Amino acid sequence: MATRPSGLPKITTAQLLDSVRAHSSYEFLEAKLNVNHSTAEKTQSFGVRARFKKDSVIWLSISPGLGIEVVRLVISPDSIKMVNRIEQKYFSESFEKANELLKLEVSFELLQSALTGEFVRLYDEEMYILKPLVDLYTLEAASDKIATSNAPLKLEQRTEIDPGIWRVTRSVLKNPARNEQILAEYRDFQQLETMIFPTSMRFRTQGKENIAVELNWSKIEEKSTLRFPFNIPSKYVAY
């Protein structure tokens, strides 16, 4: 079967990633989110106030109803801290230790990229194969090179990028060894001061447990500075 010709100009992987970075750039970001979380057993909805300092801090205040905070999270490249106001407990561990305890394989960069619709860069630039399609570009990690990579997460990866706005619209991460997959979709983009932001996001995990998460963003603002308050009350106990 013949390949459908692309109407897009040929560019290099470096040029593509530079364009994506230029349209994803911010220093401080603040927003509100409505989150819907669904599993086979139940569906939950809650509100989140979110603050970001690029490559440094993700601050999340979670309120299931009436605007009353029940959980606060502060995530940095080297640690995860949380207070649970319902249980009066706290969690404060290195990122590595948190992954071990939660049986996860997540990095700060991956989490930040997923939440702000950026390109999730798992490998060195030369690992990716760029394919121009009819109206979008795709970046795929070369499957024959993944096993020899030094990356901590050795996943199959495919990302779709809209050249009209130079933003990621769809990304798939696969872990064949565990028969697991994460699909991320980004829609309804909004122009901010220096970046274009997806106000609607959908994540689906398939594998041992199927989970769907929808994020709807509002009141998104770029800021010149932000505070990231976090303290553990003296009467709280560790998990």
Give the model's pLDDT for residue 145: 85
Place of tokens 């249980």: 87
Q: Tell me what pLDDT residue 6 has.
A: 58
First to last CA, the chain: 57
What is the mean pLDDT of the segment spanning 115-134?
A: 91
Query: What pTM did the predictor assign?
Result: 0.89
Decide if pLDDT at 2 tops 50: no
DSSP designation for 57: E
How do residues 193-213 score in pLDDT, each as one tens digit?
Answer: 999 999 999 999 988 889 999
- The rounded distance, in Å, linking the Cα atoms of 194 and 54 is 13
- Express each pLDDT in 139-189 by its tens digit: 999 888 888 888 777 889 999 999 999 999 999 999 888 888 999 999 999
Mean model confidence pLDDT for the chain: 91
Q: How far is CA 22 from CA 2, 16, 148, 167, in A?
A: 35, 10, 30, 10
For the chain, domains (ranges, CATH) are 13-222 (2.50.20.10)
Q: CA 151: distance to chain centroid?
A: 18
For 147, the token pair is: 């096993």
Q: How confident is the model at residue 1 (pLDDT cuts 50, 70, 90)?
A: very low
Cα(181)–Cα(100) distance, integer angstroms: 20
What local confidence, expressed as pLDDT, does residue 143 receive?
84
